[in-house]
A and B are shown apart, each in its own frame.
Chain A
Amino acid sequence: MHLKYESQLREPLVYGDKTYKQVTEDIVRPIEAKPTKLWYVGFYIAVALLMFGVYSVYREVTYGIGEWNLNKTVGWGWDITNFVWWVGIGHAGTLISAILLLFRQGWRTGVNRAAEAMTIFAVMCAGQFPIFHMGRVWMAFFVLPYPNSRGPLWVNFNSPLLWDVFAISTYFTVSLLFWYSGLIPDFATVRDRAFTKLRKRLYGIASFGWTGSTKHWQRHESLSLVLAGLSTPLVLSVHTIVSFDFATSVIPGWHTTIFPPYFVAGAIFSGFAMVQTLMIIVRKVFAMEDYVTIGHIEAMNKVIVLTGSIVGIAYLTELFMGWYSQNKYEGYTFWYSRAYLFSPYGWSYWGMMACNVLSPQIFWFRKMRRNIFVTFFMSIIVNIGMWFERFVIIVTSLYRDYLPSSWSVYYSPTIWEIGFYAGTFGLFFTCFFLFAKYFPVIAIAEIKYVLKTTGEGYKNQMANIEEQKLEEFVHEHAHH
């Protein structure tokens, strides 16, 4: 039996004098209550956006890729920008649930469930873009390696685009399994306190017949730990491979070895910003301020200022290399197409710089890290900035390349390109609203596990222990 003691100097992770029962009550309450009007309003807006997206995609599939404003050199525009943006957002969930589990960061318990859900929905959104960018989407199955009637003609295993297929689908599958295996015990909790037959039945199916047997918990722990161990390199590999889509090419501005770490840091940066946006709303709407505390928000803001600064250093390194390499194409891309404010896309580069590098520096101040409004505002700013980052990388490198004769006209999206992007927001929020209503948004069992170590009520009882002599403390607590 481990020591149930944690210094009072550490902030509690669960506020209030909670019991196990109270934890269940607090987290299951939104599932058992009727949804609020606000929930319906939000949900219908999300569904409306989704419908617009479906129509935009219908246009693209029916009339072809010409419905978008892509042109001869800007072959990747909003679509791949949005793909990378969504995949990036999808990195925070696994980072929180896997890497922070390995690092034994207790605060992950309050936010991991929602962050993992966010990951899954974001990866679902991301996947739409490369699939529909294929144009003839009914041939999407060509990316699968199987003995086929076309030769058999195999896919190119040496291509980063195929690595992406494997990386994204593996990432989606593993995140889903990790998330669902954690949900099984919590679904059992919801099932056992359900008060309608339908609830009993549905949560009964979803909980897979979980009983809470000690042997099952032992295996569950082992499973979570190994899945965390597997997901940790996986999450780093996914955005590394996404960056290979660019870095293995010979396009100026893409052909750099800094891309993998720079993309991974950017992914964590934007993912945490999205977790902040969602959790600030969820904790308020569902009255879960005791579980997603200001301490959680501060911890995530620390990650944001760290990764934002890593991204900033990457931007500066790129600029330096653009000059130091004395390669005129690189120099042109970095110093004219991007960093020169009055070049056609200069505004997007400086928008990115302002949002990603300058504004997160506000989080060096503790007061700002612990301010809900500042955090919420910044979380939106960071995601706008990270969208611009991908737009800058893709469009400013493509619209002017080696031959001035092939320079393209100014690229801006059509309404259907924007509609497709809006539609993925619809998909994301439709899923998230359903999740927030029908799933336990906080990992109940994990909160109960840390409750007696980090709950405020229990920590207060530790005050007299802290005054005890060391020998007495060891004598009392260090048996077994």
Chain B
Amino acid sequence: MPKCIIDGREAEFTPGQNLIEVAKNAGIDIPLFCYHPGLSVVAQCRMCAVEVEKMPKLQTACSTMATEGMVVKTKSPKTAENQKSVMEFLLANHPLDCPICDKSGECDLQDNSYKYGSAYSRYTEERRTYLDLDMGPVIKKNMNRCIHCTRCIRFGSEVAGIHEMVALKRGNNTEITTIDGKPLETDYAGNYADICPTGSLTIKDFRFKKRVWFLTKVPTVCEGCSKGCNMEVHQDNNQIYRCIPRENMEINRHWLCDEGRFNFHYVEREDRLLDPARSKSGGLEVCDWGTSIDLAKATLDGKQIAFLIGSDLTQEEGAAILQFRSQHYPGAPVYHFGTPGVVSSADDAPEDRILKRKSKTSNLHGLEKLGIPGFTKLPKEITALLVIRGGRATLPLEIDGVEKVGLGVFMKDQAMMFSVILPGLSFAEKDGTILNYEGREQKLKRALQPLGQSKPVSEILMMWVNRKKAHGAA
């Protein structure tokens, strides 16, 4: 491998890598604003300029490819002076409203200003100001904070495939806006806020909810579709505040769609059923675990039953259910359900050219691997159903007219169709393995303690089995 020298340290690189990547691998941080590994290089913020030996002027590290024997200085006086000047220019028009701004705490401008800038401003003229523009339901724009890095423009045209952001006017008056001031159309709008190095584009859903430094970050996998994008759940005090993408160059690279990003809301919806309950005429009656399991058994025992399991369950839960079936209800058929119109993995196809896939549940391919067929129609002899699901799978319509027991995450309006409800866990409350559309195994990691009285599937089945034995003896 060819080598170059950065700050006196030998750094290996593959030809074609730029200096920022090479330095990052060698453990050296070069400050930057406009460069993003997932986007094209424009070299317009000038923050990453470094001194390269035998070159008369400073070179921007993002647009300079490393070559054999190159000697780079990222901390020389000349570089530091440039960084300080760039910071001063960028902060000339920045409102410095960090106490109000949602980005503070994870803001590139804040961090770099602290590390490389001056603590005082010499600027006395009036700062430029803009009127706010409504950018649709996802993104809140505050143009005053913008530093014109054009990451958002490049993201739209290069990744989201829709060139909706543009830079109007020139120089000091440059305004980043959408074409004709229209709201954003892309389904990937949340990423605009992620890549913005300042607080000009922030997520409305997260606005003023929490300061970022209070959040505990849990690396997990999105359960929104069979793509299996890596993401981070940010929670505090057992409440999820937001989800952001986690880099995985083989699956989702740096991005996450809005559907997956805002999917977590159902976990803490007010009408989620968190206590075991039975349906009575005109409503639900909360009861304790023992009674509800007895009721569930009374509903199913002595009938021709089938298992319907949502393809948002993990491999471990699927295997536990299969074992439970073979030991206690042998011969009962098991089907998986998840998305209307997607019966098996053959129906699962990309929905767009970026990330989304047609199967709106995470583990369709995993349950197929366990040998569970997709649900199409209920066999005639079936008179009772045990429906098990996480919070994501859509309940099939063709299951009316039989007795049903529900196990998992249900909202109050869905719960009415079941005779007994046993509350289970959503993706954020459990550990487990899911298989994405390529058969790649990924881990769900628990971010929250189980809410209310809800319990994992394995524990509920265990209680079921133990009560069954006790009753058999009596």
A and B: real partners? no
Interface residues of A, Cβ cutoff 8 Å to B: none
